[in-house]
Amino acid sequence: MTEWFEQWFGEEYLQLYPHRDDEDAARVVDRRISDDGRFVIKQIQPIGEERRFLERVRLYGPGELQDMLGRAGLTSRQVFGDYAGGALAESSPRAIFVAERG
């Protein structure tokens, strides 16, 4: 796992639900973090079907996001660490940026 991931997301983030098999659920989801710590990988199988789908979502650290915003010509106006508007900290589960052009 990469150092930035451990610094910003820590062990709590890794408490993913590795397998979900609810009778009422529309699908079964297996989730894990890739060995390099850069992706969340989900395997989804609709209940009652044999086919499976793979979803891979890239994880970015706050510094990487800030750099991408700058390269896109955006200026960060606010940064939050969760959906409730909490401050960004090492223990934050998210890095949410509000940005504008210019």
pLDDT in tens, 5-47: 455 555 554 454 444 555 545 576 788 899 998 999 988 887 7
Tens digit of each residue's pLDDT (9 = 90 or more) over 43-85: 888 777 888 888 899 999 999 999 999 999 999 999 999 888 8
**DSSP letter assigned to residue 78:** E
Structural contact between residues 8 and 62, judged by C-beta atoms closer than 8 angstroms: yes
Residues near 3 by Cβ (< 8 Å), separated by ≥ 6? none
Give this prediction's pTM: 0.62
Phi, psi of 59 (to 5 degrees): -100, 140
> In this predicted structure, what is the pLDDT of residue 46?
79
Going across the sheet that includes 39-46, the strands are: 27-33, 39-46, 53-58
